[in-house]
Amino acid sequence: MKDYMLLLPIVFPAIAALFTLVIKKQFSDRGFRTLYVGVVLALTLIFNFYAIFNFRGLTLFYLTKTLPIEFKVDGLTYLFNSLVTIMWFLAGVFSFEYMKHEENNESFYLFYLLTESVLIALGMAANFMTLYLFYEFMTFLSLPLALHTRTKEAISGGLKYLFYSVFGASLALVGFFFMNQYGDITFRAGGTLIASKVMGNEALLKVIFFLTILGFSAKAGMFPLHGWLPSAHPVAPAPASAVLSGVITKAGVLAIIRVIYYQVGVNFLRGTWVQYAFMTLALITVFMGSMMAYKEKVLKKRLAYSSVSQVSYVLFGLSTMTPIGFVGALLQVVFHSIAKNLLFMGAGAIIYKEHKTMVADLKGIGKNMPIVMWCFTIGGLALVGIPPLTGFVSKWYLAQGSLVSGVPTLSFVGPIILLASALLTAGYLVTISISAFIPGADFDYKKVKNTEPNLYMLFPLVLLAVACFVCGTFSTPLINFFTSIANTIM
């Protein structure tokens, strides 16, 4: 019975979500809904840390004699589940005020809690079957978050999200079939391919595993399966946009890590065309996403294109298949999540209080919303990589990982593209802050008024802004932890 306590952070938010259908009348009251969801999110956060630090694993049941649904806690579980529950809590607190101007709040929180539940299960998945099952659940349960406003744009963006996700998952499913035939579907550091079965089939398996990586990269927004991200994120409510960009994209990253480092093994892929192709696509996405963000005029869409670029920093680090590049990738997972949740919630506060969605309309807004815009500025500088903020540390490790990877040409091109992307990031984010605080002589200062949001919105923003400083300045514990993970798999 004790081992089943590992399911507590999975089952609790799911039951709490479904129970809202029973108490639908009470849940429609805003005060009760805020209290209910706040308590559920806080308890889920506590239950998650209790479970992952006290229990190691559990086999729940068998789909067939050889396909168990099982959970296991390891270093990646600590990272992913901590990120999910913390960011879900902060975005949830932000939503208590933001969702006042949205309809269908009951359905939003129903799927918000259900999505958190399956993401926690995804982080604990001990084998390919379990990961794939909850990966698919995540797609269908997070879809209503993108569709929430039910506008024409939301429906179009949601359907695009569904199409790309299902297509990517279908490619990944092919990899599952072959892994079940040529290896062990249980995740083990270093890989589980069986040499005697692989011999003579190397060429075919490289194609299959590349398609698997490409399939899971759809959720992470890597070219050419990135098209859903700038369509779905901007049309969702700001709290949903924050977790879609800051957390759910990392589910694709988690799946790719499990495939490369815990199923196939880097020794099978390092130095092959699969590594070169993966690295090339990641670098294309880094640069392309930055260019598209630089040209974009709609604020939330600019942030969505930014995510296309910044999440591919993570994929680039993984593609180097080096310990230092792997550490840089995990650092970027954490740091991008902090900064991008901060930026999307900052954009949400602007939309909620000022009703402005275009970048050109943000001139002088720092005079009305100084706290929000200072937090937004810190998030932008963190993404650029200005020390001592978070982004500098991760980009340093990614550049070092590229240089020691030994991949012809790409190992040197990588740092150059990272630098170019950082300059473009400054161009599309820092310029917003400059215009917000220094609007110029033609700005009508008589129209300045205080439009700062309440504490429900400011608390997550300020906390995440502080985290950009703290995690960037005192990153050694994270570096040591991620290095210990890297040392077990390479």
How do residues 186-232 score in pLDDT, each as one tens digit?
A: 999 999 998 888 888 899 999 999 999 999 999 999 999 998 888 88
Crossing angle of helices 299-319 and 273-295, rounded to 10° = 160
Q: Give the length of the chain.
A: 490
Percent of the chain with pLDDT over 90: 79
Burial label for 306, CB within 10 Å (0-12, 13-18, 19+), is buried
Instruction: Please choose, from the candidates 67, 75, 197, the residue with its C-alpha nearest in 3D space to the C-alpha of residue 132.
Output: 67
Q: Which helix (H) or strand (E) holds 58?
A: strand 57-64
How far apart are the C-alpha atoms of 347 and 356, rounded to whole Å? 9
Which two structure tokens, joined as six digits, stand for 67? 């396909």
Amino acid letter, 189: A
Residue with tokens 């703290």: 470
Give pLDDT tens digits for 90-124: 999 999 999 987 777 888 999 999 999 999 999 99
Q: Which helix (H) or strand (E) holds 68?
A: strand 67-72
Instruction: Output the pLDDT for position 1.
Output: 57
Burial label for 39, CB within 10 Å (0-12, 13-18, 19+), is exposed
Q: Which helix (H) or strand (E) holds 196?
A: helix 195-198
Burial label for 47, CB within 10 Å (0-12, 13-18, 19+), is buried
Residue with tokens 């970048």: 359
Exposure string over 147-165, b if 16+ CB within 10 A, otherwise e: bbbeeeebeebbbbbbebb
Instruction: Output the pLDDT for position 66.
Output: 85
322: DSSP letter: S
Instruction: Output the pLDDT for position 195.
Output: 85
Which two structure tokens, joined as six digits, stand for 142? 């997070």
Amino acid letter, 192: T
For the chain, which residues score pLDDT lower than 50? none
Amino acid letter, 420: A
How far apart are the C-alpha atoms of 1 and 9, rounded to whole Å? 15
> Is the separation of the CB atoms in 365 and 373 below 8 Å?
yes
Q: What is this structure's pTM?
A: 0.95
Helices (H), 236-322: 238-243, 249-259, 266-269, 273-295, 299-319
Residue with tokens 């480092």: 261
Q: Give the list of residues 6+ apart from residue 365 with CB closer than 8 angstroms, or none.
A: 350, 354, 356, 373, 436
Q: Give the list of residues 6+ apart from residue 339 with CB closer than 8 angstroms, or none.
A: 379, 380, 382, 383, 390, 391, 464, 468
Q: Cis ω on the peptide bond leading into residue 224 (within 30° of 0)?
A: yes
Instruction: Report the SS3 class of residue 23.
Output: coil
Instruction: Report the SS3 class of residue 291.
Output: helix
Instruction: Please choose, from the candidates 429, 417, 424, the residue with its C-alpha nearest in 3D space to the C-alpha of residue 286.
Output: 417
Q: How many Cβ atoms sit within 10 Å of the Cβ of residue 233? A: 29
